[in-house]
Structure 1
Amino acid sequence: MKIAWKEMKKSKAKFLILGSIIFLVSFLTFIISGLANGLSQDNAALIKDLPAGQFYLDEDANQTYNLSKIDEDVQKKTLADNPDATAFSIQMGFVNDAEDKQHSVAFVTSTDSDLFQNVREGEIILDRTLEDEGIKVGDVLTNNQFSGEFVVKGFVDQQKYSHAPVAFIQMKNYQEIYRVMEMQAIFIPGKDAPTISGVESFSNKEFLNAIPSYSAEQMSLNMIVWFLVIISGMLFAIFFYMMNVQKIGLYGILKAIGMKTLSLFRMIWYQMIVITVVALALSIALSQGFSIVAPEGMPFHLTLDTVFMLSGVFLVVGFIGATISGFQIKKIEPLQAIQQGEM
C-alpha cells in the first residue's frame, strides 16, 4: 500500500485527471438518475404510492390501461368477495377556474376505499401543485363536458399521473364527463390476490408499464445511466492498462525482489478504491446539493437508496476494470521486463 500511495503522490497529475473524469461521470449519472426517479414520480406517483397488490384489466385491452373496461358483473362479484378491493378509473382532462383559465388534470374516481380520496357529488380534491397555480379551497371549477360545478374541498401531496396533477371526483360525475359506465381497473392489495376470469392480473411494476409513455421514458433514462456506468469501467481499464505498460520495468524489478503478483494487484485495487471513493464523495455531495437548488418545476428525486446502490455499482465496475487491466502483470517475466524497461 505504501508503494501505491507513493506512486499516487509522485504522479498526481495522472491520477487527478482520472479522478476528475470519474467524478464528472458519476455526478452526471446521479443527476440523470435523480431526473429519472423524479419523472417516474411525476408520471405515476398515484400508482407507485399504492401498496403491493394485484391490478386487473380487461383481457381484451391488450395490456393497455386506457382500453380496459371491467364488466359490471365481474366488478360487483370481485368487490363482494374482496372487501379491501377497489375499482377505479383515470382519464386525462381539464378544469376551468373562476377566471376561465384551463388547468390540465388527470380525473380519478373509485369505489369506496381508503386507497383513494373519497368525495361527494360536485366535490373535487386536487394535487397540491394546483394550489401553487392559484386555486384555493372553496373555489368553484367547471368542465365543458360536465353540467354542474366542482367545489374544491382540499389538496393532497404527490398525486400525479402522466405528468398531470390528479383530480379526485365522484363516480357519477366521472361517468357524465366521459359517457362511460364501466370502470377501467380493479386493485386488490396483498400478495395473495385471487385469479379472476375475464380479466388479466398485473403486479404493481407490470401495471406501471401499462401506462402510456411510462416504460419508454424510464427505459431511455435508465439506459443512459447504465451506459455511463459502463463507460466508467472502461475508463478504469484503459487508464490502468496504459499505466501498467509504462511500469513494466518497475513490475519486473518488484517481481525480481520477491513481490507476488497478488500484491501488485492489491496496489492497483488500492489506487482504484482511493480514486473512486474521493470522486464519489464529491459527486454525492454536489448531487444532493443540486436537489436543493434545482428549479422548482424540475422533477428531481434522488434517494439515498439510489445513491448507495449506484455507488456500489461504480466500485464494482471500477474493480472489474482495474482487474482486467492488471492481467498483463501475470505474464511479466522479471528479467525480460527489466531489459525492456532499460531500452
Structure 2
Amino acid sequence: MILAWKEIKNNKAKFSIVGSIILLISLLTFIISGLANGLSQDNMSLIKNFPDGTFYMAEDSNNSYAQSRIDEKKQMQLLENGGDSFAFSLQMGNLKIDSNKQKNVSLMTYTDNKYYQNIDNGEIVLDHSLKKEGIKAGDQLSFRQSENSFEVAGFVDDARFNHSPVVLINQKDFNNLFRTQAFQIVFSPISNKDIDGLNAYSNSEFLNTIPSYQAEQMTLNMIVWFLIIISGMLFAIFFYMMNVQKLGMYGILKALGIRTNTLYTMIWTQMGIITVSALISSALLSQVFQSIAPTSMPYSLPLTSTIQLSILFIVVGFMGATLSGIQIKRIDPLQAIQQGEA
C-alpha cells in the first residue's frame, strides 16, 4: 500500500490521465445504461409491470403477438385452471386529441382480472403521460378507426407499449374498432404449464419476442459491454508500459527479497485507487445528469445498476492489471538490473 501510494504521488500526471480516461469511459457507460433502462421502461413498461408468470401465444404465430390468435377452447381451459389468468389483445391505433392533432397509441383490451379495472362500453382509460396533451377525465375522444366518441374514465401509471401510451378499452369497443373477436395472448401467474397448440414464454422471453425491444436493448447493452472491455484493455496497456519502464527497479526489489506477490499487490492497489476514485466521481455525475436531463429523455439509472456496473469495472480492471503483471513473475533480478542500466 505504501509503495503503491508513493509511486502514484511521484507520477501524478500519468495516473491522473489514466484516472480521467476511466472516469470518462465509466460516465459514458453509466449514461448509456441509464438510457437503456429508460428506453426499456418507455418501450415496455406495460409488460414489465406484469407479475412473474407465463405468456401464451398460438403455436403458429411465429413468435409474434400480432399474428397470434388464441383458440377459444384453449383460452377457456387456461382461464378456468389458471387462477388469476386473463386474456388480452394489443393493437396500434391513432387517438384524435383535437381536429388537427393525433397521437399514436397502443390499445389494450382484456378479460376480467384483478390487475386491471373493468371498463364500460364507450369509456377508455389512458396512460398518465397523455395528461401532457391537455387531456383530462371526462373528455370525449375518438380514434381514426372510428368516429364514435369515448369518454376518458381515468388514467393509469407506467402503461406504455412500443414507445406509445396505452389506452385501455372495453372488449366490445375493441372488437368493433379492429373487426376481431379472438384474443392474442393469455397471461397466467402459473409458471411454465405446457398447453398443446400454444407456445409458453416467461416474462423475459415474451419481451424478447418483440422486435423493437430486442434490437434496442441488444444494441445498447453491446455498447456498455464494449466500454467495460475497453477499460480493462486500457489498464492492461497502461500497467504493461509502466512495468516495462520499471524492469530495473523490479529487479532491484526482487534482489532485495521483495516477493512477486508484494509487487502484484502494489499494482492491484494502484488499480483500485484509480478505479474507485473514477467510479465515485462518474456515479455522482451520472446522478446529476439524471436530475438535469430533459423530461422527454427516457433516462433511468437505479442505484442497483450503478453498483453492478461499478463491480464489473473493478473486476475487469483487476483482470487487466493482473495480465500486465505476468512479466513481473518472469523477471530475473540480474538481467532486469542490467537492462535498467542499459
TM-score, with length taken from structure 2: 0.98
Please say which of residues 116-125 and 142-151 is displaced more in the overlay.
142-151
% same residue: 56
- 1:151 matched to 2:151? The reply is yes
Deviations 1:295-326 (A, max 9, x none): 11000011111111100000000000000000
- The farther-off stretch of 59-68 and 70-79 is 70-79
Question: Secondary structure at the residue paired with 1:153?
Answer: strand
- The separation in 1 between residues aligned to 2:271 and 2:106, in whole angstroms, is 49
Q: Secondary structure at the match of 1:131?
A: helix
CA deviations on 1:120-146 (whole Å, 9 max, x unpaired) are 111111111100111111110011323
1:18 aligns with 2:18: yes
1:208 and 2:240 aligned: no
Whole-angstrom CA distance in 2 between matches of 1:135 and 1:105 = 14
Give the whole-Å Cα distance in 2 for the aligned partners of 1:263 and 1:165.
59
Task: State whether residues 117 and 168 of structure 1, in contact with CA within 8 Å, keep that contact through their aligned partners in structure 2.
Answer: no
* Residue of structure 2 in register with 1:186 after alignment: 186
8 A Cα contact 1:98 1:139, kept in partner: no
Provide the secondary structure at the position in 2 that maps to 1:148. Answer: strand
Distance in 1 (CA, whole Å) between partners of 2:211 and 2:334 is: 65
1:228 aligns with 2:227: yes
Counterparts of residues 101-250 of structure 1 (less than 5 Å): 101-191=101-191, 193-250=192-249
Say if 1:98 and 1:140, in contact at 8 Å, map to a contact too: no
CA offset at residue 209 of structure 1? 1.0
CA RMSD for the aligned pairs? 1.0
Question: Secondary structure of 1:97's partner?
Answer: strand
Deviations 1:12-68 (A, max 9, x none): 000000000000000000000010111111111000011110000000001111110
| TM-score normalised by structure 1 residue count | 0.98
Superposition pairs of residues 70-81 of structure 1, within 5 angstroms: 70-81=70-81
Give deviations 1:263-308, integer Å, cap 9, x for gaps: 0000000000000000000000000111110011000011111111
Q: Trace 1:44-55 onto structure 2 (pairs within 5 A).
A: 44-55=44-55
- Where 1:297 maps in the other structure, the secondary structure is coil
- Report the equivalent of 1:276: 275
Structure 2 SS opposite 1:135? coil
Amino acid at match of 1:295: P
Give how far 1:118 is off.
2.5
Residues 146 and 173 in structure 1, CA contact (< 8 A), matched pair in contact too: no
Partners of 2:143 and 2:328 lie apart in 1 by 73
**Residues 180-201 of structure 1: CA deviation (Å, up to 9, x unaligned):** 110000000133x422111110
Q: Is the 8 A contact 1:44 1:160 kept in 2?
A: yes
- Tell me the amino acid that sits aligned with residue 255 of structure 2: A
Query: What aligned pairs does 1:93-108 form with structure 2 within 5 A after superposition?
Result: 93-108=93-108
Q: CA deviation at 1:98?
A: 4.1
Give ranges in structure 1 of 5+ residues lacking alignment: none
* Aligned equivalent of 2:263: 264
CA spacing shift, 1:330–1:239, aligned 2, 3 Å: same
Structure 1 residue identity aligned to 2:69:
K
Helix, strand or coil at the partner of 1:183: coil
Q: Which amino acid aligns with 1:226?
A: W
Q: Counterpart amino acid of 2:176?
A: E
1:47-96 CA deviation, whole Å, 9 max, x = no partner?
A: 00111100000000011111100011211222122231000011111111
Secondary structure of the residue aligned to 1:168 is strand
Output the CA distance in 2 between the equivalents of 1:224 and 1:22.
16
Q: Alpha-carbon deviation of 1:336?
A: 1.0
2:93–2:145 contact (8 Å) kept in structure 1: no
Give how far 1:115 is off: 2.2
- The code of the aligned residue for 1:107 comes to L
> 1:4 maps to what in 2?
4
| Runs of 4+ deviating beyond 3 Å | none
Tell whether the 8 Å contact from 2:255 to 2:333 is kept in structure 1 after alignment.
yes
Q: Structure 2: which amino acid aligns with 1:126?
A: L
> How big is the shift at 1:153?
1.1
The whole-number CA distance in structure 1 between the counterparts of 2:137 and 2:179 is 28
Q: Which amino acid aligns with 1:253?
A: I
C-alpha displacement of 1:100: 4.7
- Counterpart in the other structure of 1:307: 306
Verify the 8 A CA contact 1:107 1:167 in the aligned structure 2.
yes
CA distance in 2, matches of 1:111, 1:63: 22
* 1:149 Cα offset (Å): 1.4
Q: Which residue of 2 aligns with 1:83?
A: 83
Stretches of structure 2 that go unaligned for 5 or more consecutive residues are: none
| 1:332 equivalent in alignment to 2:331 | yes
In structure 2, what is the Cα distance between the partners aligned to 1:252 and 1:117?
75
Distance 1:205 1:235 in 2: 34
Instruction: Output the amino acid matched with 1:68.
Output: S
